[in-house]
């Protein structure tokens, strides 16, 4: 079945003036943003930017090309090829890339990256999803007990800077955590900036607390949000989300449906499914009910303990964790054994609650 790469063959020779920007264009830019453009795209919000065609030449000739194209947990090996094809197309080649920010802060437990792609008629902000760093995944889990995580604050500031320096209509897009950041930044922006925003594209991004959807800021931009989830969505169905979304057909199984390259496309949009799967709903209900039953302090203790154990594996990325799996597991077991009895008991009870909730939901859906 066709995917983003096929879409480039079908629509790559058509400019945005010929065929307006759509959800697949947004997804392509989201996937390209997983590549590392550090040192190739200016971080200056006032900079005019570099065309994707020029960026491709710099990217391919960079000394650390192999590292750049393979970095990131959500980087499919086809990502560099997708970027090259897009950069050579009439549709994407003249887009100007600018304001590339890439932050990893272990102390603040933050992973944040963003870039803006501009045509003559619009600017498209793209927030990168979770990368390969363990601190990036820790920040995702922090959404379970913190009102705001650092990446969300940075996303809002980034949007403010783009709105101030680039006087064009704005589109915002993100995949995975990037989808959450896209919605958050738009909802928290001023009324003036919200009026400048044309559309928000959320691709399988995790949700928010129930209270978030009652805010005036969210309601003001709700009609501009376009959310897309694969049939078996796990990441995107964590926490609460708006009931209005589109389900996309995927040729992968399980968690791998989170990979945008598995999403099926047509020349003018995604191949749509009726709804997410029964399994997806069971997982979402289980995790969300479990989170809601825990006190804030319990959530924090559970998450901090799990990531303390991961930290003691000595790995800083998921790649390192899996490449040295036996050493990592050995170090994690040592770490868990040395936890105080009160913490071990609390974590054990929390896991039991999750398993109990899972059993209840599985029986309820049979």
DSSP string for 61-129? HSTTHHHHHH-STT--TTHHHHHHHHHHSTTTTTPEEEEEEEEEETTTTEEEEEEEEE-SS-EEEEE--
Identify the pLDDT of residue 192: 97
pLDDT (mean) for 89-118 = 91
Given a cut of 70, is residue 136 above it in pLDDT? no
pLDDT (mean) for 10-30 = 96
Residue 250 makes CB contacts below 8 A (sequence gap 6+) with: 230, 231, 232, 257, 262, 263, 264
Q: Report the DSSP pairing between strands 265-266 and 246-248.
A: unpaired
Number of CB atoms found within 10 A of residue 210's CB: 11
Phi and psi torsions of 46, nearest 5°: -90, -10
Q: 236 falls in which pLDDT band (50, 70, 90)?
A: confident
Identify the pLDDT of residue 4: 94
Write out the DSSP string of 164-213: HH--S-EEEEEETHHHHHHHHHHHHS-HHHHHHEEEEEEES---B-GGGG
Given a cut of 70, is residue 326 above it in pLDDT? no
Identify the pLDDT of residue 33: 95
- Tallying the residues shown for the chain, one arrives at 366
Q: Which of 252-266, 271-285, 326-340 has the lowest mean pLDDT?
A: 326-340
pLDDT (mean) for 301-307 = 65
Given a cut of 80, is residue 24 above it in pLDDT? yes
More confident residue, 8 or 280: 8
Q: 104 falls in which pLDDT band (50, 70, 90)?
A: confident
Given a cut of 60, is residue 84 above it in pLDDT? yes
Q: Which of 23-27, 98-102, 208-212, 340-344 has the lowest mean pLDDT?
A: 340-344
Identify the pLDDT of residue 362: 52
More confident residue, 132 or 76: 76
Q: 73 falls in which pLDDT band (50, 70, 90)?
A: very low
User: For residues 267, 270, 272 and 275, what is the CA-based torsion angle, rounded to 10 degrees?
Assistant: -170
CB 288 within 8 A of CB 238: yes
User: CA-based angle 309:140:173, to the nearest 5?
Assistant: 155
Number of CB atoms found within 10 A of residue 364's CB: 9
Given a cut of 70, is residue 174 above it in pLDDT? yes
Identify the pLDDT of residue 301: 72
3-class SS of residue 332: helix
pLDDT (mean) for 280-306 = 72
Phi and psi torsions of 267, nearest 5°: -60, -25
CB 38 within 8 A of CB 295: no
Given a cut of 50, is residue 54 above it in pLDDT? yes
């Amino acid at each position: 079945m066709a995917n983003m790469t096929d879409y480039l063959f079908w629509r790559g020779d058509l400019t945005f003036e010929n065929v307006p920007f759509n959800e697949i264009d947004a997804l392509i830019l989201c996937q390209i943003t997983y590549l590392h453009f550090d040192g190739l795209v200016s971080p200056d919000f006032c900079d005019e930017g570099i065309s994707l065609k020029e960026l491709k030449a710099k990217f391919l000739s960079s000394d650390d090309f192999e590292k750049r194209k393979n970095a990131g947990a959500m980087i499919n090996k086809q990502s560099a090829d997708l970027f090259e094809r897009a950069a050579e197309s009439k549709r994407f080649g003249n887009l100007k890339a600018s304001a590339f920010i890439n932050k990893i802060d272990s102390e603040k437990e933050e992973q944040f990256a963003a870039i803006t792609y501009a045509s003559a008629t619009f600017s498209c902000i793209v927030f990168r999803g979770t990368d390969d760093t363990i601190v990036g995944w820790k920040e995702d889990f922090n959404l379970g007990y913190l009102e705001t995580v650092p990446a969300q604050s940075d996303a809002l500031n980034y949007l403010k800077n783009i709105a101030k320096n680039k006087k064009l209509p704005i589109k915002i897009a993100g995949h995975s955590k990037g989808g959450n950041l896209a919605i958050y930044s738009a909802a928290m922006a001023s009324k003036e900036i919200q009026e400048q925003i044309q559309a928000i594209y959320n691709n399988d991004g995790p949700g928010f607390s129930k209270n978030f959807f009652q805010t005036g800021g969210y309601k003001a931009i709700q009609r501009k949000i376009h959310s897309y989830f694969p049939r078996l969505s796990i990441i995107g169905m964590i926490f609460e989300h708006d009931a209005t979304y589109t389900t996309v057909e995927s040729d992968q199984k399980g968690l791998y449906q989170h990979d945008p390259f598995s999403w099926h496309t047509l020349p003018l949009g995604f191949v749509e499914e009726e709804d997410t799967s029964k399994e997806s709903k069971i997982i979402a209900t289980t995790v969300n009910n479990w989170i809601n039953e825990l006190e804030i302090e319990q959530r924090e203790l559970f998450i901090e303990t799990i990531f303390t154990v991961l930290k003691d594996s000595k790995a800083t990325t998921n790649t390192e964790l899996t490449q040295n799996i036996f050493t990592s597991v050995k170090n994690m077991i040592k770490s868990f054994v040395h936890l105080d009895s009160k913490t071990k008991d609390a974590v054990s009870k929390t896991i039991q609650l999750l398993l109990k909730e899972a059993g209840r939901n599985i029986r309820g859906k049979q």
